[in-house]
Every structure is written in C-alpha cells, then in structure tokens.
Amino acid sequence: MHEKKDFKKPLIIYYIIALIVVMLLNALLFPQIQRYSVKEVSYSEFLKMLEEGQIKSVQIDETQIAFTPTQQLDDGKTTYFVTNRVTADEKIVDRLIDANVEFAQVVPEEMSPFIEFLLSWVVPLIIFYALGSFMFKRMSKQLGGNSMTFGKSNAKIYVEAQTGKTFADVAGEDEAKDALEEIVDFLHDPQKYRDIGAQLPKGALLVGPPGTGKTLLAKAVAGEAKVPFFSISGSEFVEMFVGMGAARVRDLFKQAGEKAPCIVFIDEIDAIGKRRDNAGMGGNDEREQTLNQLLTEMDGFDAGKGVVILAATNRPEILDKALLRPGRFDRRIPVELPDLAGREAILRVHAKDVKTEPNIDYTQVARATSGCSGAELANIINEAAIAAVKDGRKAVSQRDMEEAIETVIAGYQRKNAVVSPRDKLTVSYHEIGHALVAAKLENAAPVQKITIIPRTSGALGYTMQVDDEERLLMSREQILDKITTYCGGRAAEQLIFGRITSGASNDIEQATKLARAMVTRLGMSDTFGMMALETQSGQYLSGDANLVCSDQTAARIDVEVKQIIANCYEKAMQILTDNKEKLHELAKILLEKETITGIEFMAVLAPNQLPSTFEEQKSDEAGETND
C-alpha cells in the first residue's frame, strides 16, 4: 500500500515563516507609521496648564481626564495627555468652561502596532479559517467523508493472506470453487498458461441469491492465491458530484496495476452496471459515466499482469450487455442455493466453532432446511447455541437445532399470547386438516411436527413436512397433492364448524401461486399446453411474474386456476370426510398437548403403517426419556 504523506511538517514551516515576516514588519515598518502618542501628566500640572491657557480640548470620565494641548510637541505626532481625575475637585467643570476649553470625544489609548496588526488582520483571518474548517468538516461528514478525495478509490485493501478465508471455509458450493480454482492456479503459476498461449480471464461474475456466499468466495480466492485483495461496493463509486465515480474507477485500476498480481472485488456491481437506456433523460449521467469508465478500464487492462476482477450481484438480468461480453467478465459463475449434501456440509462448517453434543444428526437438519441459504444455515446454528445457553446447557442438542429451524422459519414462540378456547380449537382442527390430508396423499411429504403455539411471524400454528429425499423436479401429481394439502386446513374448518376463518390466508396465497405457475409457466394445463404465458423477473430476489398474453387469455387463465384449486379443495374435503373420526381424535390430542411429533400423529392415524424410520426414532426418543 502507498505510504501516506505527512502534510503537517510543511505547514509548520509555513507558520514559522509567516511569524518571522510579521515580526520584521512590526520592528521595521510599523514604528514609522505610528500617528499618535499618549503622555500621562500629574493633576497639578494639568491645573497649571489650564491656568496658562495651554489646553485646547478636554474629555472627562469618572476616573481620568484626557486633554489636547493648544501647542503640540516637536516630534510631529499628535500627542494626547492623560491625568487621573481628583473627585474632590467639584469645580473642575466650571473652571474648564471659564477657560473656554472644548469638550471633545474619547481619546484613543495608545496601542502597540504589532497588537493592532494582529487584531486587525491576523485574528479575523484565524476566525474565518476556524469557521471554514468547521463548516468544511460538517459538509465532509454529510458527503460521506470524501469531500477532499474526489478522485480517490475507497477500496479496502487486504494484503497477502490477510483476508483470513480459504476454500476450506466455503462449503456447499463445489462447482463455484472448481471454476475459481483455475484463477488461483493461474495466479500461482502463470508461466505454464503463457507457455501454451492461454490468457487469464479478466473478470468473473458471481451471481446467485442473497446469502449464498459470493463475497466469501471472493475472499477465499484471494486467501488461496496469497495476493492483495481490493474490496469495494458498487455504490461507493457513485456520489452526488458528476465525474467522481469515473475518477475513482481510474484510481482503483491504477492501484491494482501497481499491486499486481492482485484481485479486485466489486460487490453489488448492479449499482453501477445497470443497463443503459434513454429512460433517465440525462438524470443518470454520473452512473453511466462510471459504467463507461469501468468498461474502458477493463477493455484496456493487460490480463498478463495478473489482475483479476471479481464482481457479485443478485440481479444479473439488469446488467449492461457490454459488461458481460468476453474480454470483460469472461466467466459467469452461479452461486446457487445449496442442495442436501451442501446444506449438511455448511452446517458442519459453522458448527466447528460451537460446542455440540456428539449425536447431532446434521442430515436430518439439512432435510428440514430445504431452500435455505448458507447465511440462514449459519443463523440456525447460532440460534441453536443461544437456545442452549438460555436453557443452562453447555452444548447444543438435536432439540436445539429443531427449535432453531422453527425460529428462523416461523419466528419465536409467543408463550404469553392469549388465544381464546374457540380460536384454539379452530386452529387445532385446521392444522390436523393439513396433516391428515398430507398423510393420505401419495406424493405429499411426511409430517414432521404439528403445533398450535403462536409464533411471532403471526402464525397461530403450523404443520411441518420434511421430504425423505431432495426433490429437484416436481411432477404434475406432486404439485396437485401439494395444493390439496394447502386446502386441508380450510376444508377442516368448513367440515367441522360449518364456517371459515381468516387463518387460511397464507394457504390460499401459496395454493394460488402453485396453480397459476402450473398454467402459465410449467406447461401443465390441459387448455394451453406447452405455452409460456408469463415471464419471471428477478429470479434471485422477488421472483415477480409478468403476464405476456392478451386480456382474454388472462381471463381464461383465471378460470383454469380457479378450477384447479376447486378440484383440490373437493379432494381434501373428501379425504377429511372419510376420516372424520380420526380428525376429531387427533384434534383433541393436539388441543391438549399443543405440539405433537410426526411419530405421535402417525401412531394415532395409522399405527400398523408406521414407517421403520419412525419406529427407530420412536424407540430412540423413548430411550432418551427413560434416561
């Protein structure tokens, strides 16, 4: 890194020179331009001069008398005489009037020319300088502390091996690591690539959902390659002043060239790399200038120096095409949500620094966390450790892990929430309705847990289902069974109470989303077949869908979606009607215990069909209870 220059030493020299100049001016020049002097005399001498008519004008205050003689001294300066006033002399005013003496203004006191110069020139300058510095610092803070570093890059620089991360700290992203290991190998031994004529990729773009470890991967590459690592966010390039972003890009690449071989990481590159268009009407000049400068620097950069540009984003669809062409970001590396094996590996990596019991089943935890990112899995481990401390234990147990999963997914338990008996009974039948329908369907995931304890997310209860294996594809039958399971809660309320409540709002939302996806995107509609009727934007963030069809077609889509949900609801109602006695029995048990496991649920519903895995788990839990 560049050493910072110490600007204090030159300033001290300038201060000394200015002080010497002022002292010379005071000694050589100011005495020549002194225009008056003040001379003090005794009161008796003052009376003598008054009697002789030598006083021209006088000024009297409570403590002294200042006067000007009728005849000045021979030194050429105006001389003012001062004497202490004698308060016992009450007739002094009358005597002055009789002598025809004028009463004048206050006589200025004699002042040193040096002091006068300081007060007239130096002190005001110091005051203005202090006020300016204060206002400048205030403005600098409001502008992010960069008001005097307009063209300087804010990149954080980590020197060799100081990122503290290696590929051993990254789990669940084996494909991304394999793609990045080639870059590390090139930085270690570039000559073997040059011998064959291969060139190092100038840039690699890491894309994926939030929390999957894109920044961690970039730091791990620098840690493995043992080269300097520049880290900066895309938003730090863009400021309120036009041209600052482009200057910072130039400065960043200049520093990178001096530190080569090195790695430059730009996080959230979509802040400056957004696709250029005419919609802004000139309002995005600063961002576009920054992007143009980045394109120019990457295009003209010599890859042989060993400078690799890594960038991360979760919005690749909005990036400018010029940024993604070969020669700039040569590689696009997906960093997706981890699969079952990846989630288990991530859990083990984060559990290394946590004291856990030896019988933790990480595979079971990984199954229950389908769709979770690496950051969420790390949070689950941390929540489990906090729960263990609250219970006064010194190691994390399997039960802590399960409770942490529920905490992350549904929120904390509202132990002091007051739920009326009527609402509690309704929730009990609602959740058993979900579980019973799921258990009777062929393609539904097994029930893991049922609870009617309210959660901070707003849920008054929920039914947890965990698949026995990872599902990458879903058939039409599996989706329909999932929609039928969502309909089970509302069907149970209608069947038992003859009324419906607002508790099924989330079920309705999820069922509608699945049914609409079947028709518009998955080609599972008998009416439309393999016809794409909507597009999805922001796949890594919101996943919003936009219809690409006429209004008439949209109306037909709504009709078909409604029919799919109605058929599933009718199927759920039939299952519950056929098992009404079990519905009453299970709802009563859940109402008493508030939480039951999948084993307890299946033991009541179908004791003869209990899977072997459930039997083993039941015997294990019985052994733990006896202990």
Residues with active-site annotation: 431
In our burial notation (b when 16+ CB lie closer than 10 A, e otherwise), range 481-496 reads bbbbbbbbbbbbbbbb
CB 380 within 8 A of CB 401: yes
Supply the DSSP symbol for 150.
T
CB 221 within 8 A of CB 185: no
**Alpha-carbon span 83 to 67, nearest angstrom:** 9
Say how many residues make up the chain. 627
My answer on whether omega of the bond before 261 falls inside 30° of 0, hence cis, is yes
What is the distance, to the nearest Å, from the Cα of residue 57 to the centroid of all Cα atoms in its chain?
78
H/E run at residue 231: strand 229-233
Two tokens at 78? 């105006």
Instruction: Say which residues have a Cβ less than 8 Å from residue 412's Cβ, sequence separation at least 6.
Output: 455, 456
Count of Cβ atoms closer than 10 Å to residue 306 Cβ: 19
Cα 308 to Cα 199, 264, 288, 328, 330, distances in angstroms: 11, 6, 23, 10, 11
**Alpha-carbon span 540 to 545, nearest angstrom:** 13
Query: What residue type is 150 in one-letter code?
Result: F
Q: Which class for 534: exposed (0-12), middle (13-18), buried (19 or more C-beta within 10 A)? A: middle
What order of strands is seen across the sheet that includes strand 262-267?
156-158, 229-233, 262-267, 307-313, 203-207, 331-334
Two tokens at 207? 């894309």
Q: What is the 3-state secondary structure (H, E, C) of 82-97?
A: EEECCCCCCCHHHHHH
Sign of CA dihedral 391, 396, 398, 403: positive
Instruction: Say which residues have a Cβ less than 8 Å from residue 421's Cβ, sequence separation at least 6.
Output: none
Instruction: Say which residues have a Cβ less than 8 Å from residue 181's Cβ, sequence separation at least 6.
Output: 167, 224
H/E run at residue 158: strand 156-158
Two tokens at 476? 């039409």
CB 285 within 8 A of CB 305: no
Two tokens at 532? 């794409």
CB 489 within 8 A of CB 506: no
Helix (H, G, I), strand (E, B), or coil: what is residue 242?
coil
Count of Cβ atoms closer than 10 Å to residue 127 Cβ: 10
Beta bridge partners of 205: 311, 332
